Structure 1
Amino acid sequence: MIWRLAADAVLLLHGLFILFAVFGGLLVLWRRWLVWLHLPAMAWAALVVTMGWVCPLTPLEVQLRQTAGDAGYSGGFIEHYLVLLIYPPGLTRQLQILLGVAVLVINLLVYGLLLRRRQRRH
């Protein structure tokens, strides 16, 4: 039971990290100090996705699930949890690169807006 809860906690943390990496720039518009957390998170997420790496949270979750007696899964977090919702045919290498670039572009737009606001104030 404790291992399954730990695996679920890792899953939740992983999902929240992905949301923060993709949309955290919007939180920076609200609380500027979050930029120091968001920029490294965004960079890590974009790097992991574009390079085709497996995030270290994925094997941790799989190991916890296996320890709990559940079946683990192969592949990454995105392939296991999100592909069926967003990309049913499967996650290709080109799509991974596109997702990584999308993370950067979304946040560059947000940070551009932030800089523009700042310049207007001065």
Structure 2
Amino acid sequence: MGYQLLTTVILVLHFGFLAYLAVGGFLAWRWPRTIWLHLLAAGWGVLVVAANLTCPLTAAEHWARRRSGQVGFDEGFVDRYLADVIYPEQYAWLARLVLALVVAVSWVGVLRAARRRHPRSSLRWRSSH
């Protein structure tokens, strides 16, 4: 029972991370200091995809499943729970592109909000004479 609960907790954390990856930049519109956390999350997401890394949460899920007597999966979290569920697997590239565009739009919004909060002061050149 304990490892099954742990598996569920890991799955919730993984879904939460992916949701934050998608909308964290928009949260930074309201809470600007959180942009650094979102930059780290996005960087990690890009690294996992680009380098074909196994996410530690995926490894932890597989470990907890095996400890609970279940069979671990050979596929990653996204392949198991999102591909062919949220989008057709052959359009994974499009899903990644849409996610990247959503993140880019959110970051543009963060920059615009920051400029509104802290407009650049206009420098006035004065003669020292």
Tell me: CA distance 1:78–1:60, structure 2 relative to 1, closer, same or farther (3 Å): same
1:109 to 105, 108, 113: 105
TM-score, normalised to structure 1, is 0.83
Q: How far does residue 99 in structure 1 lie from its aligned partner after superposition?
A: 4.1
Tell me: CA distance 1:39–1:100, structure 2 relative to 1, closer, same or farther (3 Å): same
Long gaps (5+) in structure 1: none
Percent identical residues: 32
Q: Which range moves more in the overlay, 110-119 or 21-30?
A: 110-119
2:84 match: secondary structure? helix
1:79 match: secondary structure? helix
Q: Is the CA contact 2:26–2:109 (under 8 Å) kept in the aligned structure 1?
A: no
1:12 and 2:12 are equivalent in the alignment: yes
Distance 2:115 2:37 in 1: 23
Long gaps (5+) in structure 2: 120-129
What amino acid does structure 1 have at the position aligned with 2:61?
E
Q: Is the CA contact 1:4–1:64 (under 8 Å) kept in the aligned structure 2?
A: yes
Task: Choose between structure 1 and 2: higher helix proportion.
Answer: 1
Partner of 1:46: 46
Deviations along 1:37-68, whole A, 9 cap, x unmatched?
11100111122123332212112101101110
How many residues align structurally?
118
User: Larger Rg: 1 or 2?
Assistant: 2
2:80 match: secondary structure? helix
Tell me: CA distance 1:99–1:51, structure 2 relative to 1, closer, same or farther (3 Å): farther
Tell me: CA distance 1:54–1:98, structure 2 relative to 1, closer, same or farther (3 Å): farther
Distance 1:87 1:117 in 2: 32
Q: How far does residue 85 in structure 1 lie from its aligned partner after superposition?
A: 1.1
Q: How far does residue 101 in structure 1 lie from its aligned partner after superposition?
A: 4.1
Distance 2:55 2:97 in 1: 17
2:82 match: secondary structure? helix
User: Which portions of structure 1, spanning 4 or more consecutive aligned residues, are displaced by more than 6 angstroms?
Assistant: none
Distance 2:36 2:110 in 1: 14
